[in-house]
A and B are shown apart, each in its own frame.
Chain A
């Protein structure tokens, strides 16, 4: 069990939402967190623009992780639908933006050379997917529920089940990489990565909700998870004459 959670001083943006860079309970932060203050800069065209859906053609199959291994077989596990809006803080939906996801298989194993714990691999599951939000800003993936898996952060450490999400949104300000968790998971309170998020409310917003209206009969359980990214709202940078 973790028994110390020293929290570093350097936080990006909103202190209620974003984790500190240094969070000692998550050991990998210790040599990778910056130690000098982040620099406040004005927002310019460089920050208020950003990569659009510039990644090469997305196909509908890319959003079906149960079949996109291309083996003709189907991934083992509880089939789930994960869907929701991508919004900004003013509630504006973000259409046509790229989401990329990756996850462990139902047994908690990643198809990756650095994941060598003795959980079984599934030949029909790559654990990677991508899609664009539609015109209403809604994304939707079909996948299987990932398993928890051990890691070496501390003795008997296990990551709660999660799906990694990468989101672009409309500008450099909206770029977000995060993790979606599942409700009622007893590993949440002892996971230093999730607990690095500073407030209960912000942690809660990383947890998908079971939604029976998303569930499809005789097919898949439904989860709803909305993603809120920072909008491209410039704080006007005053001219030097205005004393900024």
Chain B
């Protein structure tokens, strides 16, 4: 059935920013004033195996809206679409490795006909030195349904904490901190996707 062979991945290299992070292509702010949902800020740093900040990475996110619906034809669920929310974000990293997004807390999306997934955001990382992009998920540490999330349960128990975004005490709007560690101690759990 598979008659066409896949095109290989190659690194983004060091020079992608004028193209990929130009005005209109970079998208740190996913919300508009009319967007429904609880405003949150996602903030984190990308670190390499020496815990040195990675200043030339790009982080993309993909998420459902506040009702748990993806803005995509393959999601035919009953939850309403929000025309002001695409669900896609793209941030570069700064000299200190920092990336950020202003978005809304996603609603839960189905896993199968019976089970729901805990709210999460799909995270993809690109940089010089990554011959393939890295794929992972951000979960919220204060979400009680994490313990039943079928995807998080695939992650070895001692690595699950690397996928939990930490709520900054007293932050308003709420800030969730999610560092991405490419290699070494506390290496983020990346998915084979």
Contact = CB atoms under 8 A, between A and B. Distances in A.
Nearest to B1: A90
Contact of B13 (A16, A18, A29, A164): A164
Interface string A120-144: 0000001111100000000000000
Nearest to B25: A55
Given A12-B192, A21-B132, A100-B25, A33 B8 contact: no
Contacts of A55: 24-25, 27
Given A19-B8, A193-B11, A128 B71 contact: no
Interface stretch (A71-79, A182-190, A201-209, A215-223): A201-209
Size range of the interface on B?
Answer: 35 or more
Contact of A164 (B16, B62, B192): B16
A24 to B, nearest CB: 12
A45 B64 CA distance: 10
Interface in A219-233: 226-230, 232
Interface string B24-52: 11010000000000000000000011101
Interface string A39-68: 111101111111110111000000000000
Given A44-B109, A89-B4, A114-B15, A232 B49 contact: no
A31 B50 contact: yes
Contact of A36 (B13, B117, B135, B187): B187
B164 interface: no
Given A42-B150, A49-B72, A205-B8, A36 B189 contact: yes
B81 interface: no
Given A18-B8, A52-B72, A196 B18 contact: no
A70 interface: no
B101 interface: no
A56 B24 CA distance: 6
A173 B77 CA distance: 20
A221 B19 CA distance: 24
A89 B1 CA distance: 8
A17 B190 contact: no
B171 interface: no
Given A102-B19, A172-B193, A202 B5 contact: yes
A73 B121 CA distance: 44
Interface in A23-37: 23, 26, 28-36
Given A46-B64, A175-B124, 6 more contacts: A41-B151, A51-B87, A166-B20, A177-B11, A177-B126, A203-B8
17 contacts: A13-B192, A21-B130, A21-B131, A34-B188, A36-B187, A39-B190, A42-B150, A44-B117, A49-B74, A50-B62, A51-B86, A51-B88, A128-B19, A177-B11, A178-B10, A193-B10, A226-B7
Interface of B: 1-20, 22, 24-25, 27, 48-50, 52, 54, 56, 60, 62, 64, 70-72, 74-75, 77, 86-88, 109-112, 114, 117, 120, 122, 124, 126-135, 137, 150-151, 154-156, 159, 182-184, 187-193
Interface of A: 12-14, 16-21, 23, 26, 28-36, 38-42, 44-52, 54-56, 87-91, 100-102, 104, 110-112, 114-115, 126-130, 164, 166, 170-173, 175-179, 193-194, 196-197, 201-203, 205-206, 226-230, 232, 237, 239
